[in-house]
């Protein structure tokens, strides 16, 4: 009894479990439809301005691929009231800025000392509302060439650079919004006209299709006044049509082989269709991916890299998108080994996982690793801005953080196993193989006949 009483008193005296992290914010909408999220963080005298447009490559028209990414470049070419190099004013004060485009959205951001918040808001608002008057044929042609060259450097020249476009084309059928990579097709980029990209801007770059997120050290009332001053007069447009797609089902095993002389080692990608972001099963597959490949004792690493040594590396990832996702295993062969060996060994590991399921220990380890990474993203003001905007764009709720964490914390070994068996079956997948191509044998020069 004395032991129980002592245990009870110690339990009462112990510190309570730490509360979930939070990002306090205020959200509201301007009359023109612009969603605004303000999150005050005075830990350092710095502020992040983040603009998210619900426009990615999935929203492009057939024959006009690459426009979303091309337009990302055009947004840095000057606007009506700031018709100069967009980077220069920020670089002069040590600011950080850029943009990026995915299948689902395009974002732009500036990180500046707090006393330059007005500058960041002015610059973003001017290109949101007054970009077209400053868009010239010369600027367009310049960036058209830049993007085409980027395609060559990032996708065509590197040995495995074409893997992502090839994988999308293999997994998603013609006509699906995810069939083409964000970089677009050469012929579409080459044939694009100034009128084409102007029409893209008028369709998608609207305050009523955007979210402005401001995180950092600012006075709330002053920030609201600045937002109204700079963005309040930006004209709204017709509500853009929401891009949708019917569910896609893969049957059998679709094998795509790509031979290139520049490929040094065989490499494979094995892909399955997965749930869309934040849908049931999405978090469980994240944990399954980590349990399969993170660490030297994980089943895939142990089998392919450590024990049989047929692979140099192996990795598993879940690409969660707005319409659907992909569960992808990627492995690079060691010297003297083949793509077929990689796929056979991967299949052995997956068959065992389907049969035996995941252990509680492996899922607990995966969950801990996820939480460490998640908390790390909250350490920066830029990370908080990106997360708030992502939650708003994909769930409609900027305060989805605790619900997001709960998905991972409530997952069990059984729920992860069930999701894995459902979404990663033995059949219904794509296998993409990049293989070294032997150089063609030299043709001997004809010998002159000697008489």
pLDDT at 14: 43
Structural domain contains residue 224: yes
For residue 448, the model assigns a pLDDT of 56
- Domain CATH code at residue 316: 3.30.830.10
Residue 446 lies in a domain: no
Whether residue 342 is found in the same domain as residue 425: yes
243 belongs to a structural domain = no
Judgement on whether residues 56 and 176 belong to the same structural domain of the protein: yes
| Same domain (yes/no): 226, 262 | no
| Pair (305, 347) in one structural domain | yes
Domain span holding position 99: 26-231
Q: Same structural domain for residues 121 and 175?
A: yes
**Domain final residue pick, 231, 261, 281:** 231
- Would you state the pLDDT for residue 368? 96
In this prediction, residue 20 carries a pLDDT of 79
Q: What pLDDT does 438 receive?
A: 76
Per-residue pLDDT reduced to its tens digit, 387-421: 999 999 999 999 999 999 999 999 999 999 999 99
Can you give the three-state secondary structure of 387-419, one letter per residue?
Answer: HHHHHHHHHCCCCCHHHHHHHHHCCCHHHHHHH
The model's pTM: 0.91
| Residue at 365 is within a domain | yes
Whether 155 and 184 have beta carbons less than 8 Å apart is answered as no
Q: Are residues 44 and 96 in the same domain?
A: yes
Asked if residue 307 is part of any domain, the answer here is yes
Cα–Cα separations (whole angstroms), residue 395 to 68, 319, 392, 400: 22, 17, 6, 8
Predicted confidence at residue 4, as pLDDT, reads 39
Q: Is residue 245 part of a domain?
A: no
Q: What is the chain's pLDDT, residue by residue, as a tens digit (451 residues)?
A: 433 343 344 334 444 555 778 999 999 999 999 999 999 999 999 999 999 999 999 999 989 999 999 999 999 999 999 999 999 999 999 999 999 999 999 999 999 999 999 999 999 999 999 999 999 999 999 999 999 999 999 999 999 999 999 999 999 999 999 999 999 998 999 999 999 989 999 999 999 999 999 999 999 999 999 999 999 999 999 999 999 999 999 999 999 999 999 999 999 999 999 999 999 999 999 999 999 999 999 999 999 999 999 999 999 999 999 999 999 999 999 999 999 999 999 999 999 999 999 999 999 999 999 999 999 999 999 999 999 999 999 999 999 999 999 999 999 999 999 999 999 999 999 999 999 987 555 556 566 555 4
Residue 11 is predicted with a pLDDT of: 39
Q: Are residues 216 and 304 in the same domain?
A: no
Looking at the fold, whether 209 and 324 belong to one and the same domain comes out as no
Domain identity same for 209 and 279: no
User: Are 378 and 257 members of one domain?
Assistant: yes
Same domain, 187 and 317: no
Which among 182, 199, 231 is the end of a domain?
A: 231
Domain count, the chain: 2
User: What pLDDT is stored for residue 440 in this prediction?
Assistant: 53
Q: Is 247 part of any domain?
A: no
Q: Are residues 39 and 87 in the same domain?
A: yes
Domain for residue 9, yes or no?
no
């Amino acid at each position: 009894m004395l032991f129980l009483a002592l245990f009870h008193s110690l339990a009462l005296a112990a510190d309570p479990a730490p509360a979930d992290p939070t990002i306090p914010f205020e959200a509201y909408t301007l009359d023109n439809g612009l969603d605004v999220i303000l999150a005050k963080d005075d830990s350092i005298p710095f502020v992040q301005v983040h603009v998210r447009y619900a426009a990615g490559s999935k929203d492009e028209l057939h024959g006009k691929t690459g426009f979303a990414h091309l337009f990302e470049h055009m947004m840095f070419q000057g606007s009506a009231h700031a018709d100069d190099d967009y980077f220069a004013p920020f670089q002069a004060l040590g600011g950080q800025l850029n943009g990026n485009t995915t299948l689902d959205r395009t974002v732009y951001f500036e990180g500046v000392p707090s006393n330059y918040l007005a500058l960041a808001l002015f610059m973003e608002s001017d290109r949101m509302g007054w970009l077209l008057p400053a868009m010239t044929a010369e600027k367009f042609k310049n960036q058209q060439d830049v993007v085409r060259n980027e395609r060559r450097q990032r996708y065509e020249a590197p040995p495995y650079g074409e893997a992502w476009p090839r994988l999308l084309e293999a997994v998603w059928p013609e006509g699906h919004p995810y069939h083409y990579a964000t970089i677009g097709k050469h012929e579409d980029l080459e044939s694009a006209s100034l009128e084409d990209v102007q029409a893209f801007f008028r369709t998608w770059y609207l305050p009523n299709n955007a979210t402005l997120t401001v995180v950092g050290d600012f006075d709330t009332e002053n920030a609201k006044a600045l937002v109204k001053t700079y963005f309040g007069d930006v004209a709204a447009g017709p509500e853009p049509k929401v891009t949708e797609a019917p569910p896609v089902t893969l049957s059998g095993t679709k094998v795509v082989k790509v031979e290139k002389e520049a490929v040094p080692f065989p490499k494979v990608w094995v892909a399955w269709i997965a749930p869309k972001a934040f849908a049931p099963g999405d978090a469980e597959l994240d944990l399954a991916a980590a349990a399969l490949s993170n660490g030297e004792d994980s089943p895939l690493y142990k089998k392919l890299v450590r024990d049989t040594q047929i692979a140099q590396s192996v990795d598993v990832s879940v690409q969660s998108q707005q319409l659907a996702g992909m569960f992808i295993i990627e492995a690079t062969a060691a010297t003297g080994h083949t793509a077929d060996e990689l796929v056979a060994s991967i299949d052995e590991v997956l068959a065992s996982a389907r049969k035996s399921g995941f252990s509680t220990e492996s899922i607990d380890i995966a969950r801990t690793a996820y939480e460490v990474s998640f908390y790390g993203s909250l350490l920066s003001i830029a990370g908080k801005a990106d997360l708030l905007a992502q939650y708003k764009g994909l769930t409609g709720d900027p305060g989805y953080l605790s619900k997001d964490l709960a998905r991972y914390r409530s997952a069990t070994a059984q729920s992860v196993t069930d999701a894995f068996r459902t979404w990663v079956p033995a059949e219904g997948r794509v296998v993409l193989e990049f293989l070294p191509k032997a150089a063609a044998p030299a043709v001997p020069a004809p010998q002159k006949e000697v008489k």
